[in-house]
């Protein structure tokens, strides 16, 4: 009888567009010839962005990022954090304020953390477990909305808790000592350490908390503190004298100063980074990828090519079916479309093999998610229209005409470019595809409300942390069908056996043990043709010519600003 709070894809989608990128473990993580972590301090790093790197409100309770974010985690340390290394290991959890990633007990329903020694706020006061508890509690306050939804669902009593400002504590968070904090969950959640990377787990000193005013001067626990912040325009960070590397092994904090500028267009950012003159030589971006046209130009210039990093954020672009709409209730029609799709054309439509890899699995092709290769409807890279026609004939569908819904822009790779590629491929199988474009603003809400959900449409999905659970559950857990909107179980698929498997796997607190279970579940679900996976995006980013150690982390696929040097 578990009722899960919807996992927000909107945030994941924003991530994919804005910050999604990750180092494919590439060796290009060598910005300069000589990077020495011991001697990397100094200089000013510039961040050129389209949107704010700190969400709309720079308050740890209100920020919604995966793994702590790029810029927020420079100011807010959290109980755990993503491991700051390039490559596959970057998808794992590392202790941050805590001494380990958490000790589970009671079937992963209780999680205990101990704080490490020498932790201080920017004003020099020591950080205690009470400050972490206060930070989590205040994220329940209705005046500070916008954070992750999981705590409300997971913590005992979380559903009715309205924050600490009226004097009420959340009893499921206990602080037996100044250094110990215990979380009591109402159900097993083996992925708790992943969620403890979120900024809601950052310490907030009760004495300095002015509620909604806290974002005006957020008290830093990380290597930098805020000097000036003009919302949606600029942010300047300077060193926090009370932070030291001795008490933090996950941040190098090389630059003395970080200046971010927001509101630039993607073309301008990439042009400035490629020219790399003046201050732009010390610049990176935390939200702008290379477009296909920019890639085509850069690939002929060896100097620019050298200043490109490549990465993946666990994301899958797919065709979604609403199985409550005819003819998609017929599995043979869904299978026919699965066979007819030309993945090579879809990949080229979004910029080719450097920017996407063809997908036959719903899980992203990264081990952290439990990826196991499978192809339930093997049709080769360009599709098998003959097989598709056979299946349609069996289903009694001749001259099938369908309407494919898509976004009216290609910004999220679910727009006209991919839609026409699908249209053209299905034509080979005798299916007439009409296209219906939805505008940017309404597309997500149309999809996620069963009453307005189209029968077949282009969609995409990324999870809030890199494991199989948050990637699969919102899409395939039958208890997460939400009639009033915010529904990501697009197929409206509800199988008690699958639901039970979700519960069983969530009890596993060792992510490596959980992986094969998620992989097997994905392969089993793939047989049902509830979606047609199309491709996993790859992200390419440029950096200025003085920037060193600019890898894209595998967790979120963005520059790890805490590890970048400009000296």
- Chain-centre distance for alpha carbon 310: 16
Per the listing, tokens 């065709």 go with: 319
Rounded-to-integer distance, Cα 215 and Cα 22, Å: 29
Q: Cα separation of 516 and 130, whole Å?
A: 38
Kindly write down the DSSP assignment for every residue of 61-111, as one continuous string.
Answer: TT---STT-SSHHHH---SEEE---SSGGGGSEEESSBSSS-EEETTTTEE
Q: Which residues of 316-354 are buried (b: 16+ CB within 10 A; e: fewer)?
A: bbbbbbbbeeebbebbbbbbbbbbbbbbbbbbbbbbeeb
CA atoms within 13 A on the CB side of 74: 30
Give the shortest CB-381-to-another protein separation in angstroms: 10
Asked if 126 touches another protein (CB under 8 A), the answer is: no
Closer CB to another protein, 128 or 285, in the complex: 285
350 vs 547, beta carbon nearer another protein: 350
- Nearest approach in angstroms of CB 355 to another protein is 7
Give the residue ranges of DSSP H helices in 329-457: 331-340, 343-349, 385-394, 416-428, 440-447
Nearer CB in complex with another protein: 127/532: 532
Rounded CA-CA distance 158/187 in Å is 12
Residues binding another protein: what is the number (CB under 8 A)?
A: 36
In the complex with another protein, the residue whose CB is nearer, 84 or 307, is 307
Nearer to another protein, 122 or 294 (CB): 294
Contacts of another protein in 481-510 (CB under 8 A): none
> Minimum Å distance from CB 290 to another protein?
8
Residues 396-455 that bind another protein (CB under 8 A): 408-409, 416-417, 419-421, 423-424, 427, 435-437, 439
* Residue selected from 345, 368, 538, 552 as contacting another protein according to rule CB under 8 A: 345
Instruction: Kindly tell me which of 323 and 342 has the beta carbon lying closer to another protein.
Output: 342
Could you say which residues in the range 274-333 bind another protein, by CB under 8 A? 291-297, 299-300
Q: Are strands 103-105 and 234-239 parallel, antiparallel or unpaired?
A: unpaired
Q: Which of 178/424 has CB closer to another protein?
A: 424
CB of 409 to another protein, least distance (A): 8
Q: Which is nearer to another protein, 437 or 520 (CB)?
A: 437
Least separation in angstroms between residue 427's CB and another protein is 8
Contact 121, 203 (CB under 8 A): yes
Strands across the sheet containing 234-239: 224-230, 234-239, 257-261, 44-48, 283-284
Taking the C-alpha atoms of residue 180 and residue 103, their distance in angstroms, rounded to an integer, is 11
Scanning residues 346 to 385, which ones bind another protein (CB under 8 A)?
347-355
Binding stretches for another protein (CB under 8 A): 267, 291-297, 299-300, 342, 344-345, 347-355, 408-409, 416-417, 419-421, 423-424, 427, 435-437, 439
């Amino acid at each position: 009888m578990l009722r899960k709070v919807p996992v927000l894809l909107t945030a994941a989608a924003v991530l994919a567009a804005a910050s999604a990128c990750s180092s494919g473990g590439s060796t290009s993580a060598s910005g300069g010839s000589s990077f020495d972590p011991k001697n990397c301090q100094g200089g000013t790093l510039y961040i050129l962005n389209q949107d704010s790197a700190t969400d709309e409100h720079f308050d740890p309770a209100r920020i919604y990022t995966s793994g702590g974010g790029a810029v927020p985690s420079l100011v807010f340390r959290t109980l755990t954090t993503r491991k700051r290394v390039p490559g596959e290991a970057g998808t794992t959890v590392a202790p941050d304020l805590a001494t380990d990633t958490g000790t589970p007990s009671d079937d992963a329903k209780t999680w205990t953390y101990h704080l490490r020694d020498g932790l201080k706020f920017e004003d020099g006061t020591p950080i205690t477990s009470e400050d972490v508890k206060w930070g989590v509690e205040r994220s329940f306050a209705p005046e500070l909305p916008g954070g992750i939804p999981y705590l409300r669902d997971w913590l005992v009593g979380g559903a009715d808790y309205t924050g600490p400002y009226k004097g009420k504590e959340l009893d499921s968070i206990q602080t037996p000592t100044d250094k110990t904090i215990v979380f009591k969950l109402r159900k097993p959640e083996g992925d708790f350490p992943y969620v403890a990377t979120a900024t809601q787990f950052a310490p907030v000193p009760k004495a300095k908390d002015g509620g909604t005013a806290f974002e005006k001067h957020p008290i830093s626990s990380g290597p930098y503190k805020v000097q000036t912040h003009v919302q949606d325009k600029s942010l300047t960070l300077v060193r926090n004298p009370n932070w030291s590397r001795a008490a933090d092994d996950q941040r190098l904090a090389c630059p003395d100063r970080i200046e971010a500028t927001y509101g630039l267009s993607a073309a301008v950012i990439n042009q400035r980074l490629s020219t790399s003159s003046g201050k732009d030589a010390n610049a990176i971006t935390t939200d702008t990828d290379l477009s296909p046209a920019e890639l085509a130009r850069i690939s002929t210039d060896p100097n620019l090519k050298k200043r490109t990093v490549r990465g993946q954020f666990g994301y899958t672009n797919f065709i979604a079916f609403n199985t409550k709409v005819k003819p998609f209730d017929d599995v043979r029609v869904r299978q026919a479309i699965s066979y007819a799709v030309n993945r090579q054309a879809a990949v080229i439509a979004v910029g080719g093999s450097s920017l996407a890899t063809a997908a036959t699995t719903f899980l992203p092709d990264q081990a952290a998610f439990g990826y196991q290769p499978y192809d339930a409807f093997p049709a080769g890279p360009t599709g098998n229209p003959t097989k598709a026609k056979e299946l349609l004939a069996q289903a009694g569908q001749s001259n099938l005409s369908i309407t494919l819904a898509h976004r009216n822009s290609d910004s999220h790779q679910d727009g006209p470019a991919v839609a026409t590629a699908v249209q053209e491929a299905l034509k080979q199988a005798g299916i007439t595809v009409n296209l219906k474009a939805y505008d940017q603003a309404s597309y997500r809400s149309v999809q996620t409300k069963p009453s307005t959900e189209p029968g077949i449409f282009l969609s995409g999905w990324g999870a809030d942390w890199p494991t199989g659970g948050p990637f699969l559950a919102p899409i395939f857990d039958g208890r997460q069908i939400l009639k009033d909107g915010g529904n990501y179980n697009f197929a409206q698929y509800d199988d008690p056996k699958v639901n039970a498997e979700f519960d069983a796997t969530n009890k596993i607190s060792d992510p490596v043990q959980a992986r094969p279970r998620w992989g097997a579940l994905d392969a089993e679900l793939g047989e049902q043709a509830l979606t047609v996976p199309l491709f996993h995006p790859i992200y390419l980013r440029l950096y200025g010519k003085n920037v060193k150690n600019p890898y894209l982390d595998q967790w979120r696929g963005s520059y790890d600003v805490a590890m970048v040097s400009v000296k």
